C-alpha cells in the first residue's frame, strides 16, 4: 500500500493547495484518468503520469438539490477539455441557471479548518 504522503489523493490535494487541477494520464490507454488512483482503470497499468489541467470545461449534466434546510445548490458533471469528467458544482450563478453545455472554469475552494481544498467551477466569461 502506498505511503499516505505520496498517495495519489495526497498528490492531487497538494496540487489543489497550489491552485492547480491535476489529473493523471495513462500512456498505455492514451487517455486521461480521473479520480486519482494507483492503477489505470482501462489497462491495469501502474504507469500513470500527472498533468495539470487548464481548468476549462463544459457542463455535461446538472441538477438542483433542494435540502430540507439551507439554500438550493447544483450538482454538475463537468467534462474538462483534457478528456476527463468530474462531479462538482458551479458557483457564482443561481443553481437553476447552470445549463448543459455551459462553459466553465476551475478555481479552488478553501473551506478552512481541517477540510482540504476542493475544486469548484464558475461560468466562463463570455
- Given this model, what pLDDT does residue 44 score? 94
Looking at the fold, whether 95 and 38 belong to one and the same domain comes out as: no
Residue 124 has pLDDT above 60, yes or no: yes
- Given this model, what pLDDT does residue 6 score? 79
Instruction: Give the pLDDT confidence of 46-68 residue by residue, as tens digits.
Output: 999 999 999 999 999 999 999 99
Looking at the fold, whether 67 and 41 belong to one and the same domain comes out as: no
Quick one: which of 59, 45, 48, 53 has its CA closest to 96?
59
Share of the chain above pLDDT 90, in %: 88
Looking at the fold, whether 86 and 115 belong to one and the same domain comes out as: yes
DSSP code, position 6: G
Looking at the fold, whether 39 and 86 belong to one and the same domain comes out as: no
Containing domain of residue 114, as a range?
Answer: 54-126
What average pLDDT does the chain have?
92
- Given this model, what pLDDT does residue 2 score? 46
Looking at the fold, whether 123 and 72 belong to one and the same domain comes out as: yes
Amino acid at each position: 500500500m502506498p505511503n499516505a504522503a505520496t498517495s495519489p489523493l495526497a498528490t492531487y490535494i497538494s496540487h489543489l493547495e497550489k491552485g492547480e487541477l491535476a489529473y493523471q494520464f495513462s500512456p498505455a490507454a492514451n487517455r486521461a484518468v480521473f479520480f486519482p488512483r494507483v492503477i489505470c482503470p482501462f489497462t491495469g497499468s501502474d504507469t500513470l503520469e500527472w498533468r495539470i489541467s487548464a481548468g476549462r470545461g463544459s457542463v455535461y449534466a446538472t441538477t438542483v438539490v433542494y435540502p430540507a434546510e439551507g439554500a438550493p445548490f447544483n450538482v454538475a458533471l463537468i467534462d474538462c477539455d483534457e478528456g476527463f469528467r468530474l462531479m462538482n458544482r458551479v458557483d457564482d450563478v443561481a443553481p437553476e441557471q447552470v445549463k448543459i453545455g455551459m462553459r466553465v472554469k476551475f478555481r479552488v475552494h478553501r473551506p478552512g479548518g481541517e477540510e482540504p481544498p476542493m475544486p469548484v467551477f464558475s461560468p466562463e466569461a463570455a
